[in-house]
Amino acid sequence: SSGTDAQLAILMALGLGPGDAVITTAYTFFATAGCIARVGARPVFVDIDPATFNISPAAIERFIEEHCHSGPNGRLVDDVGAIVRAIVPVHLFGLCCEMDPIFKLATQHRLHVIEDAAQAIGAEYPRSSGAEPAGTMGEAGYFSFYPSKNLGAAGDAGLIVCRDAVFAEKLRVCRQHGMEPRYFHHSIGGNFRLDEIQAAILNVKLPWLDDWSAARRTIAEAYRAEFTRCRLLDHVALPSEPFRDRGLTNHHIFHQYVIRTSQRDALRQHLTDKNICTAIYYPLGLHEQECFAYLGYSGGDLPETERAARETLALPIYPELPLESVRYVVDSIAAFFCPTG
Protein backbone atom coordinates (compact mmCIF):
# COMPACT_ATOMS: atom_id res chain seq x y z
CA SER A 1 0.00 0.00 0.00
CA SER A 2 3.07 2.30 0.22
CA GLY A 3 6.84 2.20 0.25
CA THR A 4 6.69 2.68 4.01
CA ASP A 5 4.41 -0.33 4.45
CA ALA A 6 6.63 -2.34 2.12
CA GLN A 7 9.64 -1.71 4.34
CA LEU A 8 7.61 -2.40 7.47
CA ALA A 9 6.42 -5.73 6.07
CA ILE A 10 9.99 -6.79 5.27
CA LEU A 11 11.22 -5.96 8.77
CA MET A 12 8.27 -7.81 10.33
CA ALA A 13 8.74 -10.86 8.10
CA LEU A 14 12.43 -11.01 9.04
CA GLY A 15 11.47 -10.99 12.71
CA LEU A 16 13.36 -7.82 13.56
CA GLY A 17 12.35 -6.25 16.84
CA PRO A 18 13.42 -5.23 20.35
CA GLY A 19 17.06 -5.99 21.06
CA ASP A 20 18.03 -5.71 17.39
CA ALA A 21 19.88 -2.92 15.59
CA VAL A 22 19.76 -1.92 11.93
CA ILE A 23 22.45 0.17 10.23
CA THR A 24 21.20 2.87 7.87
CA THR A 25 21.70 6.46 6.77
CA ALA A 26 20.46 9.58 8.53
CA TYR A 27 20.24 11.45 5.22
CA THR A 28 17.00 10.10 3.82
CA PHE A 29 13.24 10.33 4.16
CA PHE A 30 12.01 9.65 7.69
CA ALA A 31 10.28 6.34 6.93
CA THR A 32 13.56 4.48 6.47
CA ALA A 33 14.43 4.84 10.13
CA GLY A 34 10.85 5.24 11.33
CA CYS A 35 9.96 1.70 10.25
CA ILE A 36 12.99 0.31 12.06
CA ALA A 37 11.87 2.03 15.25
CA ARG A 38 8.23 0.95 14.77
CA VAL A 39 9.15 -2.75 14.96
CA GLY A 40 11.08 -2.02 18.16
CA ALA A 41 14.57 -2.24 16.68
CA ARG A 42 17.24 0.41 17.09
CA PRO A 43 18.27 2.55 14.11
CA VAL A 44 22.04 2.96 13.89
CA PHE A 45 22.98 5.96 11.78
CA VAL A 46 26.27 6.18 9.91
CA ASP A 47 27.58 8.96 7.71
CA ILE A 48 27.29 9.46 3.96
CA ASP A 49 29.65 9.81 1.03
CA PRO A 50 29.77 13.60 0.49
CA ALA A 51 29.83 13.22 -3.29
CA THR A 52 26.90 10.83 -3.78
CA PHE A 53 24.91 11.51 -0.57
CA ASN A 54 24.52 7.73 -0.24
CA ILE A 55 25.52 5.71 2.81
CA SER A 56 29.29 5.32 3.07
CA PRO A 57 30.57 1.71 3.15
CA ALA A 58 33.67 3.03 4.94
CA ALA A 59 31.44 4.55 7.63
CA ILE A 60 29.62 1.23 8.05
CA GLU A 61 32.94 -0.56 8.45
CA ARG A 62 34.17 2.06 10.90
CA PHE A 63 31.04 1.66 13.04
CA ILE A 64 31.50 -2.11 13.12
CA GLU A 65 35.19 -1.84 14.04
CA GLU A 66 34.78 0.87 16.68
CA HIS A 67 31.39 0.11 18.24
CA CYS A 68 30.74 -3.62 17.85
CA HIS A 69 32.04 -6.93 19.09
CA SER A 70 31.29 -10.59 18.46
CA GLY A 71 28.44 -11.80 20.64
CA PRO A 72 26.35 -14.98 21.05
CA ASN A 73 26.59 -17.36 18.10
CA GLY A 74 29.09 -15.03 16.47
CA ARG A 75 26.48 -12.32 15.87
CA LEU A 76 27.55 -8.70 15.85
CA VAL A 77 26.64 -6.80 19.04
CA ASP A 78 26.90 -3.01 19.30
CA ASP A 79 28.10 -1.01 22.28
CA VAL A 80 24.60 -0.68 23.78
CA GLY A 81 24.03 -4.44 23.63
CA ALA A 82 21.80 -4.65 20.55
CA ILE A 83 22.36 -7.43 18.02
CA VAL A 84 23.13 -5.87 14.64
CA ARG A 85 20.88 -7.73 12.22
CA ALA A 86 20.68 -5.74 8.99
CA ILE A 87 21.86 -2.90 6.77
CA VAL A 88 19.36 -0.71 4.91
CA PRO A 89 21.20 1.17 2.14
CA VAL A 90 19.11 3.91 0.51
CA HIS A 91 19.59 4.54 -3.21
CA LEU A 92 19.06 8.26 -2.81
CA PHE A 93 17.88 10.64 -5.54
CA GLY A 94 18.06 7.88 -8.19
CA LEU A 95 21.67 6.71 -7.74
CA CYS A 96 22.59 3.24 -6.46
CA CYS A 97 24.78 2.90 -3.40
CA GLU A 98 28.20 1.25 -3.66
CA MET A 99 26.75 -2.20 -3.08
CA ASP A 100 29.77 -4.50 -3.47
CA PRO A 101 31.57 -3.33 -0.31
CA ILE A 102 28.25 -3.34 1.54
CA PHE A 103 27.64 -6.96 0.56
CA LYS A 104 31.18 -7.85 1.62
CA LEU A 105 30.55 -6.46 5.10
CA ALA A 106 27.10 -8.06 5.28
CA THR A 107 28.48 -11.49 4.37
CA GLN A 108 31.34 -11.17 6.82
CA HIS A 109 29.03 -10.26 9.71
CA ARG A 110 25.87 -12.22 8.77
CA LEU A 111 23.70 -9.17 8.14
CA HIS A 112 20.55 -8.92 6.05
CA VAL A 113 20.72 -6.35 3.24
CA ILE A 114 17.38 -4.61 2.64
CA GLU A 115 17.48 -2.12 -0.22
CA ASP A 116 15.51 1.11 -0.01
CA ALA A 117 14.87 1.73 -3.72
CA ALA A 118 11.94 4.09 -3.14
CA GLN A 119 13.67 6.81 -5.21
CA ALA A 120 15.53 4.58 -7.65
CA ILE A 121 13.21 2.42 -9.74
CA GLY A 122 15.10 1.46 -12.90
CA ALA A 123 18.50 2.63 -11.68
CA GLU A 124 21.34 0.17 -12.25
CA TYR A 125 24.50 -0.86 -10.41
CA PRO A 126 27.53 -2.34 -12.21
CA ARG A 127 28.43 -5.76 -10.82
CA SER A 128 30.89 -8.30 -12.19
CA SER A 129 27.95 -10.30 -13.53
CA GLY A 130 26.53 -7.25 -15.32
CA ALA A 131 24.08 -4.47 -14.58
CA GLU A 132 21.69 -5.15 -11.69
CA PRO A 133 18.61 -3.02 -11.01
CA ALA A 134 18.19 -1.20 -7.73
CA GLY A 135 16.15 -3.18 -5.25
CA THR A 136 16.98 -6.61 -6.70
CA MET A 137 20.43 -7.23 -5.23
CA GLY A 138 19.77 -7.72 -1.52
CA GLU A 139 17.66 -10.19 0.40
CA ALA A 140 14.73 -7.89 -0.28
CA GLY A 141 14.10 -4.46 -1.75
CA TYR A 142 11.20 -2.06 -1.71
CA PHE A 143 9.86 0.69 -3.95
CA SER A 144 7.50 3.62 -3.54
CA PHE A 145 4.98 4.76 -6.14
CA TYR A 146 3.94 7.95 -4.37
CA PRO A 147 2.76 10.43 -7.05
CA SER A 148 6.01 12.43 -6.92
CA LYS A 149 8.14 9.39 -7.76
CA ASN A 150 9.48 8.65 -11.26
CA LEU A 151 6.73 6.04 -11.56
CA GLY A 152 3.83 7.38 -9.54
CA ALA A 153 0.34 6.18 -8.74
CA ALA A 154 -2.60 8.48 -8.04
CA GLY A 155 -2.03 7.96 -4.32
CA ASP A 156 0.13 5.80 -2.10
CA ALA A 157 1.46 2.51 -3.47
CA GLY A 158 4.49 0.30 -2.94
CA LEU A 159 6.23 -2.88 -4.06
CA ILE A 160 8.51 -5.53 -2.54
CA VAL A 161 10.89 -7.77 -4.46
CA CYS A 162 12.88 -10.65 -2.99
CA ARG A 163 14.90 -13.65 -4.12
CA ASP A 164 13.56 -16.41 -1.87
CA ALA A 165 10.17 -18.05 -2.54
CA VAL A 166 9.64 -18.99 1.11
CA PHE A 167 10.31 -15.43 2.24
CA ALA A 168 8.01 -14.13 -0.51
CA GLU A 169 5.19 -16.25 0.90
CA LYS A 170 5.84 -14.86 4.40
CA LEU A 171 5.52 -11.37 2.94
CA ARG A 172 2.24 -12.20 1.19
CA VAL A 173 0.80 -13.43 4.47
CA CYS A 174 2.21 -10.47 6.40
CA ARG A 175 0.55 -7.92 4.08
CA GLN A 176 -2.89 -9.24 5.07
CA HIS A 177 -2.77 -9.35 8.86
CA GLY A 178 -0.76 -12.60 8.94
CA MET A 179 -3.86 -14.40 7.66
CA GLU A 180 -3.70 -17.72 5.77
CA PRO A 181 -6.25 -19.15 5.12
CA ARG A 182 -9.05 -16.64 5.66
CA TYR A 183 -9.61 -15.78 9.34
CA PHE A 184 -6.72 -17.97 10.52
CA HIS A 185 -3.77 -15.88 11.71
CA HIS A 186 -0.36 -17.49 12.17
CA SER A 187 1.53 -14.25 12.70
CA ILE A 188 0.91 -10.55 13.23
CA GLY A 189 0.96 -8.57 10.00
CA GLY A 190 -0.86 -5.51 8.76
CA ASN A 191 -3.18 -4.15 6.12
CA PHE A 192 -0.52 -3.56 3.49
CA ARG A 193 -2.58 -4.43 0.41
CA LEU A 194 -2.29 -2.36 -2.78
CA ASP A 195 -5.74 -1.32 -4.00
CA GLU A 196 -6.85 -2.18 -7.53
CA ILE A 197 -7.16 1.42 -8.75
CA GLN A 198 -3.54 2.22 -7.93
CA ALA A 199 -2.40 -1.06 -9.51
CA ALA A 200 -4.35 -0.31 -12.69
CA ILE A 201 -2.84 3.17 -12.98
CA LEU A 202 0.68 1.83 -12.48
CA ASN A 203 0.07 -0.91 -15.04
CA VAL A 204 -0.78 1.73 -17.65
CA LYS A 205 2.18 3.97 -16.77
CA LEU A 206 4.87 1.28 -16.43
CA PRO A 207 5.61 0.94 -20.19
CA TRP A 208 6.58 4.63 -20.23
CA LEU A 209 9.16 4.35 -17.45
CA ASP A 210 12.20 3.78 -19.67
CA ASP A 211 11.32 6.78 -21.83
CA TRP A 212 10.79 8.95 -18.77
CA SER A 213 14.15 7.85 -17.32
CA ALA A 214 15.85 8.69 -20.62
CA ALA A 215 14.21 12.12 -20.63
CA ARG A 216 15.46 12.80 -17.10
CA ARG A 217 19.00 11.86 -18.15
CA THR A 218 18.73 14.25 -21.11
CA ILE A 219 17.64 17.05 -18.80
CA ALA A 220 20.49 16.26 -16.40
CA GLU A 221 22.93 16.46 -19.32
CA ALA A 222 21.43 19.82 -20.25
CA TYR A 223 21.92 21.07 -16.70
CA ARG A 224 25.56 19.96 -16.75
CA ALA A 225 26.13 21.67 -20.11
CA GLU A 226 24.51 24.90 -18.93
CA PHE A 227 26.44 24.98 -15.64
CA THR A 228 29.63 24.46 -17.64
CA ARG A 229 28.68 27.17 -20.16
CA CYS A 230 28.05 29.62 -17.34
CA ARG A 231 31.33 28.69 -15.60
CA LEU A 232 29.56 27.83 -12.37
CA LEU A 233 31.39 24.64 -11.44
CA ASP A 234 33.53 26.54 -8.93
CA HIS A 235 30.36 27.76 -7.21
CA VAL A 236 28.15 24.66 -7.11
CA ALA A 237 28.73 20.92 -7.02
CA LEU A 238 26.60 18.97 -9.49
CA PRO A 239 25.15 15.49 -8.87
CA SER A 240 27.83 12.81 -8.76
CA GLU A 241 27.63 10.15 -11.48
CA PRO A 242 30.18 7.51 -10.42
CA PHE A 243 28.83 4.84 -12.79
CA ARG A 244 28.51 7.16 -15.79
CA ASP A 245 31.18 5.38 -17.87
CA ARG A 246 30.39 1.82 -16.80
CA GLY A 247 28.20 0.87 -19.76
CA LEU A 248 24.87 1.17 -17.95
CA THR A 249 21.63 2.39 -19.50
CA ASN A 250 20.37 3.88 -16.24
CA HIS A 251 23.50 4.77 -14.28
CA HIS A 252 21.38 7.46 -12.58
CA ILE A 253 17.65 8.05 -12.99
CA PHE A 254 17.64 11.54 -11.42
CA HIS A 255 14.60 11.31 -9.19
CA GLN A 256 15.94 14.63 -7.96
CA TYR A 257 18.60 16.92 -9.44
CA VAL A 258 20.45 18.02 -6.32
CA ILE A 259 23.25 20.57 -6.31
CA ARG A 260 25.19 21.81 -3.32
CA THR A 261 26.53 25.20 -2.34
CA SER A 262 27.53 26.86 0.91
CA GLN A 263 25.15 29.70 -0.03
CA ARG A 264 22.14 27.39 -0.35
CA ASP A 265 19.57 29.43 1.55
CA ALA A 266 20.38 32.72 -0.16
CA LEU A 267 20.41 31.04 -3.56
CA ARG A 268 17.07 29.42 -2.88
CA GLN A 269 15.51 32.77 -2.01
CA HIS A 270 16.99 34.28 -5.17
CA LEU A 271 15.45 31.50 -7.27
CA THR A 272 12.12 31.88 -5.50
CA ASP A 273 12.17 35.56 -6.45
CA LYS A 274 12.65 34.40 -10.06
CA ASN A 275 9.57 32.13 -9.75
CA ILE A 276 11.73 28.99 -9.81
CA CYS A 277 10.54 26.25 -7.49
CA THR A 278 13.22 24.41 -5.52
CA ALA A 279 13.20 22.00 -2.58
CA ILE A 280 15.48 20.93 0.25
CA TYR A 281 15.99 17.20 0.77
CA TYR A 282 16.62 17.05 3.72
CA PRO A 283 17.00 20.05 6.07
CA LEU A 284 17.83 18.00 9.20
CA GLY A 285 19.51 14.63 9.49
CA LEU A 286 17.44 11.92 11.12
CA HIS A 287 20.00 11.56 13.93
CA GLU A 288 19.10 15.10 15.03
CA GLN A 289 15.32 14.68 14.84
CA GLU A 290 13.52 15.12 18.15
CA CYS A 291 11.83 11.72 17.99
CA PHE A 292 15.25 10.01 17.85
CA ALA A 293 16.77 11.92 20.77
CA TYR A 294 16.67 8.70 22.81
CA LEU A 295 19.37 7.26 20.53
CA GLY A 296 21.87 9.73 21.97
CA TYR A 297 23.20 11.38 18.82
CA SER A 298 24.19 15.03 18.79
CA GLY A 299 25.36 17.66 16.33
CA GLY A 300 28.78 16.85 14.90
CA ASP A 301 28.35 13.06 15.07
CA LEU A 302 27.69 12.76 11.32
CA PRO A 303 29.49 15.74 9.78
CA GLU A 304 28.88 14.94 6.11
CA THR A 305 25.17 14.35 6.73
CA GLU A 306 24.93 17.64 8.56
CA ARG A 307 26.83 19.51 5.84
CA ALA A 308 24.57 18.07 3.15
CA ALA A 309 21.52 19.18 5.14
CA ARG A 310 22.91 22.74 5.11
CA GLU A 311 24.10 22.86 1.50
CA THR A 312 21.89 20.81 -0.83
CA LEU A 313 19.20 22.19 -3.12
CA ALA A 314 16.97 20.29 -5.56
CA LEU A 315 16.35 22.01 -8.88
CA PRO A 316 13.33 21.34 -11.12
CA ILE A 317 13.48 18.06 -13.04
CA TYR A 318 10.73 16.03 -14.67
CA PRO A 319 10.50 14.33 -18.08
CA GLU A 320 8.58 17.15 -19.76
CA LEU A 321 10.79 19.99 -18.50
CA PRO A 322 11.66 22.18 -21.54
CA LEU A 323 15.36 22.66 -22.19
CA GLU A 324 14.80 26.41 -22.34
CA SER A 325 13.58 26.19 -18.75
CA VAL A 326 16.82 24.47 -17.79
CA ARG A 327 18.71 27.38 -19.35
CA TYR A 328 16.55 29.89 -17.45
CA VAL A 329 17.24 28.12 -14.14
CA VAL A 330 20.99 28.06 -14.70
CA ASP A 331 21.10 31.63 -16.02
CA SER A 332 19.28 32.68 -12.86
CA ILE A 333 21.86 30.85 -10.74
CA ALA A 334 24.62 32.57 -12.71
CA ALA A 335 23.02 35.93 -11.96
CA PHE A 336 23.25 35.10 -8.26
CA PHE A 337 26.91 34.09 -8.24
CA CYS A 338 28.15 36.40 -11.00
CA PRO A 339 25.99 39.54 -10.98
CA THR A 340 26.68 41.92 -13.84
CA GLY A 341 25.50 44.97 -11.97
> How would you write the pLDDT of the chain (341 residues) with one tens digit per residue?
999 999 999 999 999 999 999 999 999 999 999 999 999 999 999 999 999 999 999 999 999 999 999 998 899 999 999 999 999 999 999 999 999 999 999 999 999 999 999 999 999 999 988 999 999 999 999 999 999 999 999 999 999 999 999 999 999 999 999 999 999 998 999 999 999 999 999 999 999 999 999 999 999 999 999 999 999 999 999 999 999 999 999 999 999 999 999 999 999 999 999 999 999 999 999 999 999 999 999 999 999 999 999 999 999 999 999 999 999 999 999 999 998 75
pLDDT for position 341:
52
Residue 304 contacts by C-beta under 8 Å, 6 or more apart in sequence? Answer: 47, 48, 49, 50, 56
pLDDT for position 89:
99
Residues 218 and 195 reside in one and the same domain = no
Residues 212 and 200 reside in one and the same domain = no
Would you tell me how many other CB atoms lie within 10 Å of the CB of residue 247? 11
Contact 67, 78 (CB under 8 A): yes
Residues 255 and 130 reside in one and the same domain = no
Q: What pTM, to 2 d.p., does this model score?
A: 0.97
Q: How far apart are the first and last CA of the chain?
A: 53
| CATH number for 77 | 3.40.640.10
Where a domain ends, among 175, 204, 233? Answer: 204
pLDDT for position 128:
87
Residues 122 and 218 reside in one and the same domain = no
- The three-state secondary structure class of 92 is helix
Residues 26 and 142 reside in one and the same domain = yes
Contact 91, 97 (CB under 8 A): yes
| Helix (H) or strand (E) segment spanning residue 166 | helix 165-174
Would you tell me how many other CB atoms lie within 10 Å of the CB of residue 209? 16
| CATH number for 292 | 3.90.1150.10
| Number of domains composing the chain | 2
Contact 30, 289 (CB under 8 A): yes
pLDDT for position 26:
99
Residues 142 and 72 reside in one and the same domain = yes
Residues 102 and 157 reside in one and the same domain = yes
Q: Report the number of secondary-structure helices (H) and strands (E) in the chain.
A: 10, 12
Residues 252 and 317 reside in one and the same domain = yes
Contact 43, 114 (CB under 8 A): no
Residues 244 and 186 reside in one and the same domain = no
Where a domain ends, among 204, 236, 255? Answer: 204
Q: Which residues of 211-230 are buried (b: 16+ CB within 10 A; e: fewer)?
A: ebbebbbebbebbbebbeeb
Where a domain ends, among 204, 223, 241? Answer: 204
Residues 257 and 160 reside in one and the same domain = no
Residues 12 and 121 reside in one and the same domain = yes
Structural domain harbouring 73: 3-204
57-67 and 99-109 helices, crossing angle to 10° = 20
CA-to-CA dists, residue 17 to 82, 83, 218, angstroms: 10, 10, 44
Residue 195 contacts by C-beta under 8 Å, 6 or more apart in sequence? Answer: 1
